[in-house]
Amino acid sequence: MKIRDISKGASFSLEVFPPKKSYSLQSVSKTFGRLAALEPDFISVTYGAGGSNIRQNKTVELCRKLKQEYKVEPVAHLTCFNSRKDEVLTMLELMKEQGIENILALRGDRNPDITPPGDFHYAYELIDFIRTHTKEGDFDICAACYPEGHPECDSLKEDIRHLKQKVDAGVSLLISQLFFDNEDFYHFLELCDVAGIEVPIHAGIMPVTNKSQIERMVSTCGASLPGKFSRMMARYENNPQALLDAGISYATEQIVDLLASGVSGIHLYAMNKPEIAEKIKGNIASLIDVHNQE
């Protein structure tokens, strides 16, 4: 099923990542079983290399597992900056073989230790490549957006111009990077509206699990930390359980406000921790139901 047909009402989705090292299928199955029980509209799986053989890529393997065994629609991340065109074509063929219909097309992070092949420089090039080299209807394409602007862009308005270029290349849905101040997201939506970006934009929410994790994520995506959030981390950073409880409460408060403001969807960065996703979904389940009944 395509994303454009799934994302109705107030969508609720999750994101997971393939373990970087060898992993137990039994452990992954337990995690997927608990996440599937939350009845998300879809689960996105981040891009993970599977060694030198691209057909061993764990992203596709886990997406297949989600769809075939757990009946949850997967969205496979696909990056391009460090990939050759023939590698992308192989991934597209493999996804089609496995019945994967939705892709989150990304540039991918720059790695100072790797010289990119130069086939792709930006996500819009990957989106255009997918559209050009696949049949119409093979895939729905999603893309990422940055409510506070991409860290490599000089301004938010410049970043939105680039975002419009991605959307025009053929995007059905945008999923935002994490943010901790809803006002930043609302301002971003206003600018997107002015720019003529009309596809649904889902709000990406990451619950705090530990201070170092958040600091690492913020450094890569450029999200700012409002005073309220910083005070919470400073107060509870030495008590892991207290910080986790406060983080779940903060994320829930964000989601409640976002839903009340009519956002089209919530994308929860579950970080492969079903217990966190379960608590948050339990906190907002009745709100999702209200929106989906309207």
Q: Which residues are catalytic?
A: 15
Return the structure tokens found at 26.
């039994």
List beta partners, residue 144.
175
Return the structure tokens found at 248.
């779940």
**Taking the CB of residue 23, how many other CB atoms lie within 10 A of it?**
12
List beta partners, residue 75.
44
- Whole-Å CA distances, 194 to 10, 55, 158: 23, 42, 13
**Taking the CB of residue 25, how many other CB atoms lie within 10 A of it?**
11
The 3-state DSSP class for residue 174 equals strand
CA–CA gap between residue 294 and residue 284 (Å, rounded): 16
Q: Which amino acid is at 47?
A: Y
Return the structure tokens found at 279.
């608590």
Which region holds residue 201: left if phi is over 0, alpha if psi is between -120 and 50, else beta? Answer: beta
The secondary structure element, H or E, covering residue 74 is: strand 74-79
